[in-house]
Structures are given as structure tokens and as C-alpha cells.
Amino acid sequence: MATLEFTKMHGCGNDYIYIVALRARPADPSALSVKLSDRHFGVGGDGLILLAPSSKADIRMEMYNADGSRGAMCGNGIRCLARLAFERGLVRANPMVVETDAGLKTVELRLERRRVVGATVDMGEPILEGRYIPVDAVGRIIDYPLDVAGQHELITAVSMGNPHCVVFVADDGIFKLKDRDFAELGRKFEHHPFFPRRVNTEFILALSPHRLRMRVWERGSGETWACGTGACAALVAAVLTNHSERTATVELRGGELEIEWRADGADANHVFMTGNAVKVFRGEIELGAGEMVPVS
């Protein structure tokens, strides 16, 4: 038997199980993510994130959704990873550069009295070309008509390293929808043939030019209380459809994120996200022989 230490963390309620995998790593992280993410028989979370060595950056984020599928990028997850790496002394740089499957991301930790209270992430430039999001269409997908389960929807598609489908709603009905009914709706979007790699779906109510309310269904995890890349995609979509200015607060079930899509300067066209990074608890679990392997 092997003992594995982990840390449970969340950003706006988007919770993950973190494992430092610099010397040893799970032999099958996908299976371990399914096992640990279960909220009845495991630790409970939206997935598993490994802190892994990188030859290109200060550290690498390796992310797995609750269903075991690989995730390219997680805005809430990367803030928590950066805090954990900094507080454990694994990375001393601030800002630090994190390697992800969606490229290199820069994270600047916000410190108060030497304590990490949050972080700002340069999420990079949004991808708006349909072929690269990807969707089954070319060009920009803005207020694009899509039939979903017999309903006519207008969607705006954005990739922030993972694909997002943003739907603007006229009232707060989507936020009153029961969890079971919301899950049924979310799955219809996630598995729609228009999205060849499935999709995250954000339902957005524009409260003002600087405030958006969001409910999200994440591919591979289901409804989560927050999605950082989704909040960024929502702001970009809101600007493109004249629902918002380039800086806005996004309200999520688990808290608020500050999103800015910069128009000029050295970081023009980059999306910046600021939010919390909260440690919930640390623990350890027992794994069977062969479930952990040395890092080569």
C-alpha cells in the first residue's frame, strides 16, 4: 500500500483535488480522478490537478475532469495551483509561469501580510475562429442560430484553451431551474454534434454593462459552481454581442470573478481573470501497489 497526500482547494466553489507529482505520480491519473472526485465514495471535487515538473515553465498543471477526461485549462484551478506551489516553496517566482495543455499562462499572486489572498491570471487571447474552437462551422460564431433539443438558440462560441458555448438569456429563469433539469439541458449542449470535442456551456444574464450573472455546465464534470475559462469566454462573448464593456464582474454560484479583455497596450487582446484561491483541507489516502510510479 502507498500513502498519497493531497490538498483540496477551490476557486469560487470550483473545487479540485491537488497532488504534488514532482517525484512520483499516479500511474493512471484518469482513473484516480474518477475515484477521488466522487462526492460520496471519494474526496469529492470537480476533478484532479497534478503539480508536475516542467522544462518550459516554473511548473506544469496537469488536469483531469471528474469523469476522467483530460482538461486543457482551468482558470480557477490554475489560481489554486499557483498558490499551492508558492506556499509549498515549489516555486518562488511571483508572477510565475505555468505550463498547461493550452499553453503557457502567467499567474500573479496577490499577497497580504505574506499570505496569498487571490491571483490574477493572464489567460491569453481568445480563439474566435470556428475551426479552432472547434465547432462544425468556419468563421466567427456570434449570435449563431443552433437547434438544441427542438429549441432555437442563439450561441456565441469562444475558446479559452477549451471550447465554450455562450447563451444569453432574457431573464433569471435558467437560474431557478432545478439541478436535474439543468443537467438534462447541459448534456444536450455538451454532446451536440455541432461541437466535435464536446463543449462547456455558459448561460448569461447581462445585469449591466459591467456585471454578468452566469450558470455553467462543464464538459466532463457537469454543473460546477464556477468556471474561470467560462467566465472569460462569457465576457468576450458579451463584448462581441454588445451586452457588456470590456471589464466586468461575473457572478457565479460560488462567488465572483473580475474579468478584463484588454483593448490596447502590450497585452492587447489578452483576457485577465482575478479571483480567490482557497485551501479547504489537506489529507491522505491509501492506494494499492503500483498505483503510484516514479517520475522519470
Q: CATH number, domain at 245?
A: 3.10.310.10
Structural domain of residue 209, as residue ranges? 130-260
Distance from C-alpha of 44 to C-alpha of 17, rounded to nearest angstrom:
8
Query: Does residue 223 sit within a domain?
Result: yes
pLDDT digit string, tens, across residues 244-278: 999 999 999 999 999 999 999 999 999 999 999 99
Partners of 115 in the beta sheet?
112
* 55 pLDDT more than 80: yes
Are residues 147 and 113 both part of a single domain? no
Q: How many CB atoms neighbour CB 10 within 10 A?
A: 24
Q: Residue 180 falls within a domain, yes or no? A: yes
Question: Do 136 and 255 share a domain, yes or no?
Answer: yes
Q: Is the pLDDT confidence value at 1 over 80?
A: no
128 pLDDT more than 90 = yes
Is residue 265 in a domain? no
Residues 117 and 156 in one domain: no
Residue 160 within any structural domain of the chain: yes
CA distance 197 to 219: 9
pTM: 0.93
Catalytic residue among 12, 165, 227, 232: 227
Q: CB pairs under 8 A, 24+ apart, for 208-211?
A: 209/243, 209/244, 209/245, 209/248, 210/244, 210/245, 210/247, 210/248, 210/249, 211/248, 211/249, 211/251
In a shared domain, residues 102 and 198: no
Same domain, 96 and 51: yes
The residue written with cell numbers 477521488 in the block is 36
Same domain, 143 and 247: yes
Same domain, 18 and 70: yes
CA dihedral 190, 262, 174, 208 (to 10 degrees): -170
Helix (H) / strand (E) element for 286: namely strand 278-287
- 273 within some domain: no
For all residues of the chain together, what is the average pLDDT?
96
User: 67 and 13: one domain?
Assistant: yes
Q: Are residues 111 and 209 in the same domain?
A: no
165 is catalytic: no
The cell numbers describing 127, all together, are 480563439
> How far from 112 is each of 30, 86, 93, 194, 277, CA to CA, in Å?
36, 14, 16, 46, 13
Asked if pLDDT for residue 93 goes beyond 90, the answer is: yes
Amino acid identity, position 144: Y
Position 269 in a domain: no
80: annotated active-site residue: no
Q: Tell me, what's the pLDDT at 149?
A: 83
Q: What is the mean pLDDT of residues 101-106?
A: 97
Residue 103 has pLDDT above 80, yes or no: yes
Residue tagged active-site, from 74, 80, 165, 232: 74
Are 205 and 216 in contact, with CB atoms under 8 Å apart? no
> Both 159 and 245 in a single domain?
yes
Total domains in the chain come to: 2
